[in-house]
C-alpha cells in the first residue's frame, strides 16, 4: 500500500508519518529528511538543495523525482510506503504515477491533513528538530522528556533554519500555490483522497489516520506491509 500524506508545513505530516512507520514494515519516505541528510553529508544534491530550502522555495522537480525514484528502487516490491512531503507539485505527482507504475505500484490513499494557518505558524515556531536522528519535537504538544535534548539519540535539539517566521510565510504561500492543487489532482480518483483535521493532539491525529487507513484496508485485500503497523497500535 502506498500512502501520501499531504498538507501544509507544520500540520504534522512528519510526526504522523514517523509514528505510522514505528514498529511496522512501512517505509516512511520524507523528502525533506532525505534532503537534510544530503546537506549534512555535503553531497552535490545537498549543496544544490540548500539555497532553495533556506529560502523556503521548492527544490526543482527533476532533482526530487530522481531522488525518490532511487529510494523506491531500493525497496522490496511489497513494502508499503508513506510519502511525506512528496509529491509537492502536479508535475511531481504525474512523475510519481509513472515511477510507481514501473514498479507495479500505485497511489492507494492520499491523506490530506488540514489546519488553520494560525495553528501552523504557532506549531512551526515551537518545532524542535534533532540534527542527529531527524526526530521532531514541539514545545507545545510533543515535548522531549529533557528540555532541548532528543529522546531518541541524546543530541541537542535545534530550530530548522527554514522555520524562521519570514521563511515560514513563504513556505505557506508556496504550499497554497504549488501543492494545494494536488488535492484536485487526486480528488478525481475514486475515493483515494481523505481529509482529516490536524489541529488536535498527536495521538488524536494518529488514531484518526489509522482509522482511515484501516477502513481502506478492510474494503479490499489486506495491504502488504501495512497491516502489522496499523493493526497493533492502540
Ligand atoms: P519539509 O521537511 O517537508 O518541510 O521540506 C523542507 C524543504 O525541503 C522544503 O521547504 C523544500 O525546500 C524541500 N523539499 C522537501 N520535499 C520537497 C519536494 N517534494 N519538492 C520540492 N522541494 C522539497
pLDDT recorded at residue 216: 56
| pLDDT tens sequence across 128-156 | 999 888 888 999 888 999 999 999 999 99
Within a domain: 219: yes
Within a domain: 59: yes
Beta bridge partners of 149: 156
Supply the residues annotated as catalytic: 13, 88, 127, 160, 171
Residue ranges making up the domain that contains 77: 2-117+180-233
Within a domain: 78: yes
Residue list, ligand 1 pocket, CB within 6 Å: 9, 31-32, 35, 52-53, 56-59, 64, 85-86, 88, 92, 162, 171
**Which 3 state secondary structure label does DSSP give 12?**
coil
Q: Which residue has the higher pLDDT, 234 or 77?
A: 77
Beta-strand ranges (E) seen in 40-90 are: 81-84
Q: For residue 103, what is the domain's CATH number?
A: 3.40.50.300
Within a domain: 200: yes
What predicted TM-score, i.e. pTM, was given to this entire model?
Answer: 0.87
> How would residue 174 be classed by pLDDT, with cut points 50, 70 and 90?
very high
Within a domain: 113: yes
Within a domain: 189: yes
Amino acid at each position: 500500500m502506498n500512502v501520501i500524506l499531504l498538507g501544509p508545513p507544520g500540520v504534522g505530516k512528519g510526526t504522523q508519518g514517523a509514528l505510522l512507520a514505528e514498529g511496522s514494515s512501512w517505509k516512511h519516505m520524507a523528502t525533506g529528511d532525505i534532503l537534510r541528510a544530503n546537506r549534512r553529508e555535503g553531497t552535490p544534491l545537498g549543496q544544490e538543495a540548500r539555497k532553495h530550502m533556506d529560502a523556503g522555495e521548492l527544490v526543482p522537480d527533476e532533482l526530487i523525482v530522481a531522488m525518490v525514484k532511487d529510494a523506491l528502487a531500493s525497496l522490496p516490491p511489497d513494502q508499503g510506503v508513506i510519502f511525506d512531503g512528496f509529491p509537492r507539485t502536479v508535475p511531481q505527482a504525474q512523475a510519481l504515477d509513472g515511477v510507481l507504475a514501473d514498479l507495479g505500484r500505485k497511489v492507494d490513499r492520499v491523506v490530506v491533513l488540514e489546519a488553520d494557518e494560525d495553528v501552523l505558524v504557532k506549531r512551526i515556531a515551537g518545532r524542535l528538530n534533532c540534527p542527529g536522528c531527524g526526530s521532531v519535537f514541539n514545545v507545545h504538544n510533543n515535548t522531549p522528556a529533557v528540555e532541548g535534548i532528543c529522546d531518541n539519540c541524546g543530541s541537542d535539539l535545534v530550530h530548522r533554519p527554514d522555520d524562521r517566521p519570514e521563511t515560514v510565510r513563504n513556505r505557506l504561500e508556496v504550499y497554497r500555490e504549488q501543492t494545494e492543487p494536488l488535492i484536485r489532482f487526486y480528488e478525481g480518483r475514486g475515493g483515494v483522497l481523505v481529509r482529516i483535521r490536524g489541529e488536535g493532539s498527536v495521538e488524536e491525529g494518529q488514531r484518526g489516520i489509522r482509522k482511515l487507513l484501516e477502513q481502506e484496508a478492510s474494503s479490499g485485500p489486506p495491504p502488504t506491509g501495512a497491516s502489522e503497523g496499523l493493526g497493533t497500535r492502540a
